[in-house]
Amino acid sequence: MGLPKRIRISDKFRFECTRCDLCCGTGPNVSITIYDAVRIAEKINVSIDDFLRFYVKVVIADMIPVMLLPGDMKGRCAFLGFSENGKTYCKIYEARPMKCRLFPIKIFKLSGEELEIDEECPGIGSGPEREVPKELVENYRKELKMHYEILHKLIIEDGLEPIEALRNALNIASYELGKEMRKGFYNAKS
């Protein structure tokens, strides 16, 4: 396997989802931000504490908590559904994580023009030509940056234990998302 294919944010590419489940059904587990977690918890109507307890695996990597949506025994996302005709679908589509919304585009840095595109995806090269969803890329970058800034402040500056910091960060994200949605600045359905 070579280096990932790079594209520019101004580029166009061909893509149509084939619903093959390669992205959602083969692992690895999807890491999510505090903002993703809040949106998903709201969608499935559970508290933040219950979401942490029952729907994510938290790995502590060098003092930083990383939330993962765990897969089943076959590596399939817990929110991957199968219709009667065998087609896959996302049970939390409206609240799916930002990285899932962007797929097959991948963010590998928080600024700049370059992005990666997953050429393993069988939908690449087919379907209509489309533009990179610039607003979604910028929203995800903003959320990633805020996610790590908040956790850094709570753990490094305030001295909180990682899980306690994660709970506090989730409460901050919940407040911020609610405030932005009330002002109409944020469209969580992108």
Q: Which amino acid is at 5?
A: K
d(CA 20, CA 3): 23
Nearest to 11 by CA among 171, 133, 145, 157: 133
The continuous run of DSSP H or E covering 48 comes out as helix 48-54
Q: Give the residue extent of every domain in the chain.
A: 5-183
Nearest to 150 by CA among 37, 55, 56, 42: 37
CA atoms within 13 A on the CB side of 25: 13
In DSSP terms, 131 is beta-bridged to 12
Q: State residue 10's pLDDT score.
A: 94
What's the token pair of residue 187? 């469209």
Q: Under a CB-based contact definition with an 8 Å cutoff, are residues 124 and 117 in contact?
A: yes
Q: State residue 184's pLDDT score.
A: 47
Nearest to 67 by CA among 40, 106, 102, 45: 40
Q: Which residues of the chain have pLDDT under 50?
A: 182-190
- Per-residue pLDDT tens digits for 1-42: 556 799 999 999 999 988 888 888 776 678 999 999 999 999
Q: State residue 188's pLDDT score.
A: 45
List all residues 6 or more positions away from 120 whose beta carbon is below 8 Å from its beta carbon. Answer: 22
